[in-house]
Homo-oligomer: A and B are copies of this chain.
Amino acid sequence: MSRVLIVEDDPMILRGLRDNLAKKEYDVITASDGEEGYRLALSGKPDLIILDLMLPNMNGLEICQKLRADGSSVPILMLTARGEESDRVLGLDLGADDYVTKPFSIRELLARVRARLRSAQTGDTLPDELRFDDVVVDFKRFEATRCGSPLEMTKKEFAILRLLAARVGEVVSREDLLNDVWGYENYPSTRTIDTHIGWLRAKLESNPASPKRLITVHGVGYKLTIP
């Protein structure tokens, strides 16, 4: 069973979160101020931390920062109120893995918790490399070659390809792509995905007009099929 630490000072929200997570069979521990949260993050060995941004004593950013400085790599999900959004970037920089804006739907939050825990546990991690046909992609170096000659790929293209590569053969829904590559809040228009897929095909497929690797599943999403 996964242990989740919630650090939140609003008792209503804390209770709601705790109840919902406990119902989903998580082992839940809680703290209602920053210092206690930080202590529990160290001593409680949580598999995931839900962290409010605004907290008494020590705010979420600080906790985040200190944990990362301590070398902890536990997934952190930051709660921010609308208006604190400017801190989002900061939060992500300081080591949060994801953030949710209040008011949030519990369903969405649970989905994210699940996603984080799964990817942390089942080694469903993003691959560092991808090879097929004459293509080699190095996701860490952001380098790609085809027949040995370099391919110019953008950050987004790497990100999309990486997610598809993480689930080779399975269909990745457009929604999953949006969530993983773009984040939960900024949903660009649907056209954006197609466009990027288009670029990728132009670079990776031997015949972009009839793709063999980046397959469209009408109404669902895309999948990467490699021999």
Chain A residues packing against B (C-beta within 8 Å): 12-13, 15-17, 19-20, 22-23, 65, 68-69, 73, 87-88, 90-95, 102-107, 140-142, 154-155, 169-171, 217-220, 223
**Residues of B with C-beta under 8 A to A140:** 170-171
CA distance A142 to B105 in the complex (A): 29
Does the CB pair A95–B20 fall under 8 Å?
A: yes
Residues of B within 8 A of A103 (CB): 87-88, 90-92
Are A92 and B155 within 8 A (Cβ)? no
Also in contact, A223 and B141, with CB within 8 A (given A15-B65, A65-B15, A155-B218) = yes
Q: How far is the CA of A105 from the CA of B94 in the complex (A)?
A: 10
Sample of 19 further A-B pairs with CB below 8 A, known A20-B68, A141-B171: A12-B92, A13-B92, A16-B65, A19-B65, A19-B68, A22-B68, A23-B68, A87-B103, A91-B104, A91-B105, A92-B103, A92-B106, A93-B107, A140-B170, A141-B169, A141-B170, A141-B223, A154-B218, A155-B217
B residues less than 8 Å from A95 (CB atoms): 16, 19-20, 23
- Determine whether the beta carbon of A19 is less than 8 Å from that of B69: yes
Q: Chain B residues near A171 (CB, 8 Å)?
A: 140-142
Separation in Å of the A22 CB from the closest CB of chain B? 8
Residue of B nearest to A90 (CB): B103
Q: Which residues of B contact A104 (CB under 8 A)?
A: 91
- Measured CB to CB, the nearest residue on chain B to A106 is B93
Shortest CB-to-CB span from A66 to chain B, Å, is: 10
A10–chain B nearest beta-carbon distance, Å = 10
> Which chain B residues border A88 with CB–CB below 8 Å?
12, 103
What is the minimal beta-carbon distance from A216 to any residue of chain B, in angstroms?
A: 11
Q: Which residues of B contact A170 (CB under 8 A)?
A: 140-141
Q: Which residue of B lies closest to A69 (CB)?
A: B19
